[in-house]
A and B are shown apart, each in its own frame.
Chain A
């Protein structure tokens, strides 16, 4: 028996699969985020230096992680699309971009909400903040470039090149706190050393990160379905499916 690895690389086959997966990931996201927020807001101990203001990190740190992860994943899909000349890869890259931009904005927003009570300023021009802001501009640039090219094939490939060029910024963000002497603190959680914070805090943060992952997957799949329907409205199955869906929605 041979497995057909490429079965779901056709948009037509992927569309129903995505539809079946979305509820699972949505429920997982909802549960994990609720549990994470509960532990973060009610169970985790109050920080002796920062008081309760620190609790925003349970949203801030996972959002910042996701903003970088999603960029890399988007760039990988874009690169796969360019290398294999595969349309679904470009569609994935297109579907991921808005979620990545949203998490980047969320990280900046929660960061400034934390910065006001802790540093006394909404915004400082520190290396990590600036490079995260550049990441937001890059997401916006990629979305705008795609939107302003009418020819789909060129839009796919041009925004893929831009996404790949922008990957340079991701290690700069990640290492900015080590390379420059910045106000933003260094990482408190790492793969290699034991965390420099209470276990409940780490647990809450990791659960939140998992929840954000599930949310990203669910939203990306939902957007992917829209992208597929929008692009495949010519072939008969796409037309039928969209008519059916509109009927179901009513």
Chain B
């Protein structure tokens, strides 16, 4: 029997995780409705002044995306950890970081991509228009995978601990802050008319940096958790 190549293994894991998610569609729907509801609370709380809403739009939508990612982090490894599949996965002949990349990608498709696709609609609700709407979508498209990758480190470190839901928030939120600053900053600067390229480039840099290091750190953390 020949061993599957790295890309085959990657595809297999993404396929499996997406299929599992499709069997529990309500989970996916939940994170979408969470984003919609939280984003709709702000105009009710702050008041319907369109100038104010336009000013806080980027921050509110970014924080919402960040919370949605955080809440779904529990699903990333826990189910596989509890039924023992994760332990079997550590034994695959391919590098563990490949597995992590696959699982994080599937997690992003389930929890991050819906937010990205919804964001133009939510942006419209907050009175964004034209270029800033596109910048918001683009910044989320660049930023949410980074959030999933950083979050995976926290999820792996707290795997199977008591109170891990709260703990993962405390560990991961400080690391999310740079992404939040650049992401929300790109929309703000585009609204101010000074161009969003600098912030978007920094977001891209964050993405590449975490793509290189985060799967590796997650793999180390997973091995520690399952020792």
6 chain-A/chain-B pairs, Cβ below 8 angstroms: A82-B220, A130-B177, A134-B174, A148-B167, A162-B171, A164-B217
Judge whether A154 and B217 touch: CB under 8 Å: no
Q: Does B128 contact A (CB under 8 A)?
A: no
- List, in ascending order, chain A residues with CB within 8 A of B167's CB: 144-145, 148
Q: Which of A48-56, A86-94, A135-143, A236-244 contacts B (4 or more CB under 8 A)?
A: A135-143
Contact residues in A for B171 (Cβ distance below 8 Å)? 141, 144-145, 162
Contact B161 A134 (CB under 8 A): no
Residue of A whose beta carbon sits closest to that of B209? A168
Chain A nearest CB: distance from B45 CB in Å? 21
Cβ–Cβ < 8 Å partners of A161 in chain B: 153, 157, 217, 220-221, 224
Quote the shortest CB–CB distance from B125 to chain A (angstroms). 26
A245 to B: closest C-beta gap in Å? 33
Indicate if A165 sits at the interface (CB-CB under 8 A).
Answer: yes
Q: Is A141 in contact with B170, judged by CB distance below 8 angstroms?
A: yes
- B82 an interface residue at 8 Å Cβ cutoff? no
Q: Which residues of B contact A169 (CB under 8 A)?
A: 174
Q: Given the known A-B contacts A130-B177, A158-B157, A161-B157, are A140 and B170 also in contact in the complex, defined by CB atoms under 8 Å?
A: yes
A166–B163 Cα gap in the complex (Å)? 22
Query: In the bound complex, what is the Cα–Cα distance between A154 and B178 (angstroms)?
Result: 28
- Interface of A: prevailing SS: helix
| Cα distance A148–B158 in the bound complex, in angstroms | 9
Which of A140, A154, A162, A166 meets B225, CB within 8 Å? A154
Instruction: Report yes or no: B227 in contact with A154, Cβ–Cβ below 8 A.
Output: yes
Residue of B nearest to A127 (CB): B181
How many residue pairs link A and B with beta carbons under 8 A? The number is 54
Q: Which of A82, A141, A148, A154 contacts B174 (CB 8 A)?
A: A141
State the A residues within 8 Å of B (CB): 82, 130, 134, 137-138, 140-141, 144-145, 148-149, 153-154, 157-158, 161-162, 164-166, 168-169, 172
Most buried by B among A130, A141, A148: A141
Are B153 and A158 in contact (CB-based, < 8 A)?
no
Interface of B is mostly: helix
Q: In B167-184, which residues have CB < 8 Å from any A CB?
A: 167, 170-171, 173-175, 177-178, 181
Specify which chain A residues have a CB less than 8 angstroms from the CB of B217 in the assembled complex: 161, 164-165
- Cα of A82 to Cα of B223 in the assembled complex, Å: 12
- Are B153 and A134 neighbours in the complex by a CB distance under 8 Å? no
Contact flags (1/0) for B125-169 with A, using CB distance below 8 Å? 000000000000000000000000000010001100111000100
Q: A158-B157, A161-B224, A168-B209 are in contact. List 20 more A-B contacts (CB 8 A).
A: A130-B177, A137-B174, A140-B170, A141-B174, A145-B158, A145-B167, A145-B171, A148-B161, A148-B167, A149-B161, A154-B227, A157-B224, A158-B221, A161-B153, A161-B157, A161-B217, A164-B217, A165-B213, A165-B217, A166-B175
Query: Could you tell me which residues of chain B, from 34 to 83, have a CB within 8 Å of some CB in chain A?
Result: none
User: What is the 8 Å Cβ interface bit string for chain B, positions 197-227, against chain A (1 contact, 0 not)?
Assistant: 0000000000001000100010011001101
Give the residues in chain A near B178, CB-CB below 8 Å: 172
Q: Is the CB of A153 within 8 A of B174?
A: no
Q: How far is the CB of B173 from chain A (nearest CB, A)?
A: 7
The minimal Cβ–Cβ distance linking A44 to chain B, given in whole angstroms, is 36
Distance (whole angstroms) from the CB of B177 to the closest CB of chain A? 5
Assess whether B225 is in contact with A158, with CB atoms less than 8 Å apart.
yes
A82 CA to B209 CA in the complex, in Å? 22
A-B pairs, top 8 by smallest CB distance, nearest first, are A137-B174, A157-B224, A141-B171, A134-B174, A158-B157, A141-B170, A161-B221, A138-B174
Determine the chain B residues whose CB is within 8 A of the CB of A134 once the complex forms: 174, 177
Q: How far is the CA of A138 from the CA of B170 in the complex (A)?
A: 8
Q: What is the distance, in angstroms, from B71's C-beta to the closest C-beta of chain A? A: 18
- Shortest Cβ gap from B216 to chain A (Å): 10
Q: Is the CB of A165 within 8 A of B170?
A: no
Hey, which chain B residues are within 8 Å of A149, CB to CB? 161
